[in-house]
Structure 1
Amino acid sequence: MKNNNKPYSNIPGTTVFDGDMARIGFHLNQFCMSLMQASNRDAFKQDERAYLDKWPMTEAQKKAVLARDFTQLIALGGNIYYLVKISSNDGLSVAAAVSTMTNLSVEDYMEMMRCGGRSSEGNRYVMDNHPEEKQ
C-alpha cells in the first residue's frame, strides 16, 4: 500500500504521516485514542496484551506498543499526536516519549530543542548524498 515514489520518500530518518500511513495505522491510532477514557486506561494497565488483542492491529504494532518503541510505532502508521496517549498513560511527558527516538536523555533532548532543534547536517534527501543515483 505504501507508495515509495512520493517526493518525500527519501528523507533519512523521516516517516511522513500521509494518507497511506493513516490507513496503515488506523487501528493503532484508534487504540491510542481509546486511552482518553479512564475505564480504557485502567483496562490497558490491568492487562496490556489482552486490551491490545481487542483491536485489529498487526502483531508488529502490538509488540511495538508493548515495547514502547515509538520510532517503530511511527513506522507502522502511528501518528505522534495519538501515540503520546500511551506515554501519558505511563505518566511520561511528551518530551520523555520523544527523547526515546533521539538516543538522548530527556534533559539533552530538551536542551537540543531550546537550541533550535536537530541539525540539518546529514539529514538531507538521500539523493543529495548520492548524486550518482539521480536520474
Structure 2
Amino acid sequence: MALNKPYLDIPGTIIFDADQSRKGYWLNQFCMSLMKAENRERFKANERAYLDEWAMTEAQKQAVLARDLNECMRLGGNIYFLAKVGSTDGKSFQQMAGSMTGLTEEQYRAMMVAGGRSPEGNRYLGENGDAQPKKKD
C-alpha cells in the first residue's frame, strides 16, 4: 500500500521512518555493536573485516569506511546509532554534525548558538514554486 509522505519533500532532510528502519537494519545493528569495547577494538583493527561480518549492503559498508554520515543516513542509518561510529573515532556529536553540514566544528557551533539555519527555503520544495511534495509508492 502506497503511503503519502509529504515530508519526503523537505530539502536536505532524511526522515527515519519505518522504510528507512528496514533499509538500515544491519547498518544500525553494526553501529550498536560498537557499544562494546571489544567490538570497537576489532573494528579499529580491521574495519573492512569487521564490516564484512554484517549483512550490510556494499554501499552501506563504503559509506561507513568513508565516514560519509549523510550517505549512511540515506542508506537507512539512524543518526543516534551512527554516533557510535563517531564516538569510536573519538569525535563529538558536534564534530559529526559539523561534518554533515560542510562546516567546521567551530562554524557549526556558532551557527547553532546564533539560532540555527533559517527555515526560509528549507520547509519544502513547493514553498518556492518548485515541485509539489512527492508521493512514495
**TM bin (shorter chain):** over 0.9
Distance across 2 between alignment mates of 1:113 and 1:132: 29
Q: How far did residue 77 of structure 1 move?
A: 0.5
Q: Is the 8 A contact 2:27 2:60 kept in 1?
A: yes
Tell me the TM-score normalized by structure 1.
Answer: 0.92
Identify if the C-alpha distance between structure 1 residues 132 and 8 changes in structure 2 by more than 3 Å, giving closer, same or farther.
closer
Match of 1:56 in 2: 55
Identify if the C-alpha distance between structure 1 residues 105 and 38 changes in structure 2 by more than 3 Å, giving closer, same or farther.
same
Sequence identity (%): 57
Q: Which stretches in structure 2 are left out of the alignment for 5+ residues?
A: none
Q: Is the 8 A contact 2:94 2:105 kept in 1?
A: yes
In the alignment, is residue 85 of structure 1 matched against residue 80 of structure 2? Answer: no
Residue deviations 1:89-122 (CA, integer Å, cap 9, x gap): 0001000011111111100101111111111122
CA RMSD of aligned residues (A): 1.6
Distance across 2 between alignment mates of 1:4 and 1:126: 19
Q: Which stretches in structure 1 are left out of the alignment for 5+ residues?
A: none
Q: Point out which structure has higher relative CO (alpha carbons under 8 A, 6+ apart).
A: 2
Match of 2:12 in 1: 13
Q: How far did residue 82 of structure 1 move?
A: 0.3
Tell me the TM-score normalized by structure 2.
Answer: 0.91
